[in-house]
Chains A and B, each alone.
Chain A
Amino acid sequence: MVVRQLVVIASLLLAAVVLQTTVLSRLGLPGATPDLVVVTVVAVALALGPGPGALTGFLGGALLDIATPSDAIVGLASIVLVAVGLAVGVFMDREESNIWVMSLVAGAACGGAALATALLSAVLGSERIVWDVVPGVTLTTVLYGLILGRVTIPLVGVLSRRLVPEAYLD
């Protein structure tokens, strides 16, 4: 059922955005902030496929850009995360069972999203990008994404199997 799927996706995203802005960004970790929203998009795309993955990316990006502390260009994160959700959903096999391969995909998605966001916002005229920090930020976000993926992907998998079982019928 589409509505139930939407509710699950929306709750996951709300939890991810709140955790990312309150807890993860204040841990004071070196480099990037652990990108739970990207990892959630990857997890949903792995569990439910490219369509729901892209939708999650769109909603997650929009929420991230308009929720309180953000001053990014609204819509940029949506574009990047739609691409992430689509690519993961299309290119990853749903039957993939090795959790570390999936976590690696989450890490790579975080790195790709960070780079793409930096490039796109520079193209659109943002003066904020500090280029000599970008490599460090990208590397650390890959690492944090890998770790978060190891926890988040199985969790989202179990949740979606239980809450939207009809998506697994085919």
Chain B
Amino acid sequence: MPSRRIRITIATLLVASLTFVILDLRGGDGPLSSARAAASAVVGVLQEGVNVVVSPFSGARASYSTWRDQASQIAELGEENAKLSEELSATLSDRARARALDELLRVSSTGRYRITPAEVISVGPAQDFAWTVGIDAGSLDGIEKDMTVINGAGLVGRVLKVNPTTSTVVLLVDVSSAVGGRVATTEEVGIVSGTGRQDSMDFQLLDPLAELVIGDALVTFGSRGGRPYAPGIPIGEVADITGSAGQLARVATVRPFVDVSQLSVVGVIIRPPRDDPRDSVLPPRDETPEGESIDEGNAQANADAGDEATVDGEVDSSDAGSSNTNPAGADSANGNEN
């Protein structure tokens, strides 16, 4: 049995922890928010630093392994090779980052969103089941709570907490996230809610009789004042529908356009557009005829057209080289679409 002193220590620590829990569950801006700001200031600086050091190297893994094979044979050449490929991969990672920024700029200029670019510097652990990431922009950069966060592929999430130099973003797949969505080219609206899984969300149409087809794209409906969600941002496409028209429990599964496990460059919408950009931000679906089809056959054709459109999207970005966050996800922006 532990000594008396240790027992007193443990009791004190547990009482302190419980006090935190109670303060946190009570909500509002308590003493915890200032503790949070202080911790984020210290940890955020370190996270940014580590991010700068790590990001060129995470893309260098492939070239590093080829270097290691050669090193046993020709040590000198191998070393030089390593140095060169490190430089190359730094260039590649810069290029991938430039590509991500380009995509972001395309989306923000098409939709007339005024954005502040930011970089994801930290990710919450999977065992918390909370889909949150930290970005390197905060209140000093004009970020406020409930602003919309996007990237080149579409909606990423919204700002949850703001510190002076960092912010926490809750991703659209998190359980606490509910986005007003509109089926592109129609006026049908519903709620897209996160399920805690990274590749599926639930979509519940407000009108149970409305037509919905697999492959339909969803865009944000837009909140009052553009917060928490600005209008017209691509959310995802319908992957599966359970129940038929008219049933109360008719829920569609939506696959997000954004790959939440591969986030790097994002944009925070500082000011939403004056007019709803409608469907203009969506990637083009060239083969799809105007108006939504009703019967089963056309529905299938529509879905096929949707598939082709996404394939086109992938070709667009597939020559982006290796992504700077993960070598496996070369086409990070559209990698989620198959």
A interface residues, how many (CB within 8 angstroms): 56
Q: Of the candidates A25, A55, A66, which one forms a contact with B125 in the assembled complex, judged by CB atoms under 8 Å apart?
A: A25
For A65, A67, A72, A130, the residue with the greatest tally of chain B CB atoms inside 10 Å of its CB is A67
State whether the Cβ of A21 lies closer than 8 Å to any Cβ in chain B.
Answer: yes
Among B81-89, B109-117, B128-136, B233-241, the stretch in contact with A: B128-136
Across the A-B interface, give the 4 residue pairs with the lowest CB-CB distance, nearest first: A75-B20, A68-B134, A78-B17, A75-B21
Chain B residues near A137: list those with CB within 8 A: 126-127
Assess the B20–A68 pair: CB atoms within 8 A: no
Q: Residue on B with the closest CB to A81?
A: B17
Assess the B17–A61 pair: CB atoms within 8 A: yes
Q: Residue on A with the closest CB to B20?
A: A75
Assess the A86–B54 pair: CB atoms within 8 A: no
Prevailing SS type, chain B contact patch: helix
Which residues in B have some Cβ–Cβ distance to A below 8 Å?
Answer: 2, 5-6, 9-10, 13-14, 16-25, 32, 35-36, 39-40, 42-44, 46-47, 50-51, 54, 58, 121-130, 132-134, 160-161, 163, 166-168, 170, 174-176, 195-197, 261-262, 325-326, 328-329
Chain B residues near A69: list those with CB within 8 A: 122-124, 132-134, 168
Q: Residue on A with the closest CB to B261?
A: A28
- Complex-state Cα separation, A128 to B167, whole angstroms: 21
Prevailing SS type, chain A contact patch: helix
Chain B residues near A141: list those with CB within 8 A: 127
Assess the A33–B127 pair: CB atoms within 8 A: yes
Q: How many A-B residue pairs have CB under 8 A?
A: 184
Assess the B127–A32 pair: CB atoms within 8 A: yes
Q: A50-B2, A71-B170, A128-B129 are in contact. List 9 more A-B contacts (CB 8 A).
A: A21-B122, A22-B122, A26-B326, A33-B123, A33-B126, A63-B43, A67-B122, A70-B168, A82-B17
For A19, A26, A73, the residue with the greatest tally of chain B CB atoms inside 10 Å of its CB is A26
Chain B residues near A20: list those with CB within 8 A: 125
